[in-house]
Amino acid sequence: DIQMTQSPASLSASLGETVTIECRASEDIYNGLAWYQQKPGKSPQLLIYNANSLHTGVPSRFSGSGSGTQYSLKINSLQSEDVASYFCQQYYDYPFTFGSGTKLEIK
Amino acid sequence: EVQLQQSGAELGKPGTSVKLSCKVSGYNIRSTYMHWVNQRPGKGLEWIGRIDPANGNTIYAEKFKSKATLTADTSSNTAYMQLSQLKSDDTAIYFCAMDQFLTTVPPFAYWGQGTLVTVSS
């Protein structure tokens, strides 16, 4: 199985700041990577797919990058509504696997 | 508009089974893969498996091969997951999610609202 190592586990930042969350795959996943935002009591919401494609309706302050085994999610100009948990997921190969998540709070 | 509507919360006793449903509206599940994911209390997301409703083919994560059984009824456009031999460790929220692989819509763009399964005697 492909292991996804996500960091950091938690993050505290000020409004307007830029934050970056990283995911490392245990092998090359050829950009088969998605990022999700999950708020308490809600389903995960797709933000980014194919490593760097912004899903419809997602604000442009979210962006994804990376290749091979290293991927990142960047949030520019942090807003209060961005407080949530964020997960990466590889869908290059079965079984699909998720990172352990990053909890983002406002400082 | 595509919607995935999951069945209500379940309370199951240890050793018993529960069957969860995920009814899809706005898209024919014959043209999808239906995935199931769980989330234990306060924890991350875990992929359980997926079914191709057109032919019933399934793929499971190893740890769920004897726990979960995925089925689908194309006549009612509904996917199902049965969880057997319930243990306290199965207490979690279970989500269904859709992959419209024949379209440009990315996988996991659509999720159900989740079903809470609580295992308790």
Q: Give residue B119's pLDDT.
A: 97
Q: What is the pLDDT of residue B104?
A: 85
Tell me the shortest Cα–Cα distance from B48 to chain A, in angstroms.
8
* Segments in chain B below pLDDT 70: none
Distance, in Å, from the CA atom of B118 to the CA atom of B106, rounded to the nearest integer, reads 31
Alpha carbons A36 and B97: distance in angstroms, whole number: 13
Would the CB atoms of A43 and B112 count as touching at under 8 Å? yes
Question: What average pLDDT does the structure give for chain A?
Answer: 97
pLDDT band at A44 (very low <50, low <70, confident <90, very high): very high
Are A88 and A73 in contact, with CB atoms under 8 Å apart?
Answer: yes
A-interface mutation test, from B35, B47, B48, B64, most A Cβ less than 10 A away = B47
| Mean pLDDT computed over A41-46 | 96
Inter-chain contact B47–A36, Cβ cutoff 8 Å?
no
Mean pLDDT of chain B: 96
- Judged by CB atoms closer than 8 Å, whether chains meet at A43 and B47 is answered as no
Res B108: pLDDT: 94
**Is the pLDDT score of A106 beyond 90?**
yes
Q: Measured between alpha carbons, how far is B64 from B76 in angstroms, rounded to an integer?
A: 25
HSE, CB side, 13 Å, CA atoms: give it for residue B58: 18
Question: What pLDDT sits at residue B24?
Answer: 98
Residues 6+ apart with CB under 8 A from B36: B22, B47, B48, B49, B50, B68, B70, B79, B81, B94, B95, B96, B97
- The beta-carbon neighbor of A100 closest among B44, B61, B107 is B44
Enumerate residues 6+ apart whose C-beta is below 8 A from B104. Answer: none
d(CA A63, CA B4): 27
Res A77: pLDDT: 97
Q: According to the model, what pLDDT value does residue B103 have?
A: 83
Q: Are strands B115-119 and B10-12 parallel, antiparallel or unpaired?
A: parallel
Residues of chain B contacting A53 with CB distance shorter than 8 Å: 106
